[in-house]
Amino acid sequence: MRGLKVVNALPFGKNLLDACCRPKNTGLERKLWGLTFANPVGLAAGFDKDARFIDELSHLGFGFVEIGTVTPLPQPGNDQPRLFRLPEDEALVNRMGFNNEGVRAAAKRLQKRRSNIIVGGNIGKNKLTPNEEAVSDYEKCFHALFDVVDYFVVNVSSPNTPGLRALQEKEPLKQLLHHLQMLNNQKQQPRPILLKIAPDLTNEQLDDIIEIARETELAGLVATNTTISREGLQTPAAELEKIGAGGLSGRPVRERATEVIRYIHRKSGGTIPIIAVGGIFTAADAQEKLDAGASLVQVYTGFIYEGPTIVKKICQGLSIQP
């Protein structure tokens, strides 16, 4: 990313990046929530946590970028090492722990950006904030980012903040989302609010999520976050044990993420827009998610393994019907 910043700052750097990485094919636009996405391939949250590289990433062809997860106060995250490659599985394990400079730092950077790329704000709670006070943390992030992002994602599904996933339970989640929507509806131009969910939910829990999404009038869902499962990996068990806890992303979660998307799409009658994330490396992977019912897709681990031309390659291979 430092290299990308250097190239972007050169006299013809932006033109070079555009030529190498931007999709050339037209007809990939997506209109959703009153927003026009140049193409359906976005960068998932967790990569540009502090909104440091928005302008540079726009020249890699992304249709949108999701920053965060940001929290009200800066926090260092979990002890290092906390990010591990599993090359045999084309996967990552991370236990970053919402390391970020705080929501105000991200908001300041977004105020100064030059690109008009669509930006989502992924918001969470500080590690030391008890769950009973979590609503206050999400509210602070919502207010701080409101004027500088195009949509919000409420993150209650990271496995790396102790107790966070308990907020996915029905009553706490309803309370949180109702509160954010109340604040949102007081604004002159409300923002789309989405919820990011874990791949480890049961069908009964997914049914609850669908019910809550309808009841709180969510704009959509992001499916899915990382998994705590380690089933079916090629990486030796001893190595996995040495790595320890964390969320698994990449190819091993592709199938489960697609299952979750297909289930939600079918059970909701296609009424809930879905941003798909999980194991997307190729155009075929992206098409699989779109066919399952997703409206947009996001990459993270695929971006790390495939490199800066991933968006161009996916867009070249997509057969999206208008």
Amino acid 319: pLDDT? 61
Encode 249-299 in three state secondary structure. EEHHHHHHHHHHHHHHHHHCCCCCCEEEECCCCCHHHHHHHHHHCCCEEEE
Q: Give yes or no: 58 in active site.
A: no
Determine the residue type at 143.
H
Task: Give the residue ranges of the annotated binding site.
Answer: 45-49, 69, 94-98, 122, 155, 160, 196, 224-226, 250, 279, 300-301
On the question of pLDDT at 322 being above 90, the answer is no
On the question of pLDDT at 321 being above 70, the answer is no
Amino acid 14: pLDDT? 95
Amino acid 31: pLDDT? 97
On the question of pLDDT at 265 being above 80, the answer is yes
Q: Are 3 and 25 in contact (CB under 8 A)?
A: no
Average pLDDT over residues 274-299: 98
Please give the share of the chain, as a percent, with pLDDT higher than 90. Answer: 93
Enter the tokens of residue 121.
Answer: 């704000």
Distances from the Cα of 71 to the Cαs of 28, 100, 224, in angstroms? 33, 7, 20
Tens digits of per-residue pLDDT, 113-148? 999 999 999 999 999 999 999 999 999 999 999 999
Task: Give the residue ranges of the annotated binding site for substrate.
Answer: 49, 94-98, 155, 160, 225-226
Which candidate in 158, 249, 268, 295 is catalytic? 158
Tens digits of per-residue pLDDT, 156-197? 988 888 887 888 888 999 999 999 999 999 999 999 999 999
Distances from the Cα of 296 to the Cαs of 194, 214, 263, 292, in angstroms? 13, 20, 16, 11
Looking at the whole model, is its pTM more than 0.85? Answer: yes
Distance CA 127, CA 147 (A): 25
Average pLDDT over residues 83-98: 98
Task: Give the residue ranges of the annotated binding site for FMN.
Answer: 45-49, 69, 122, 155, 196, 224, 250, 279, 300-301
Mean pLDDT of the chain: 96
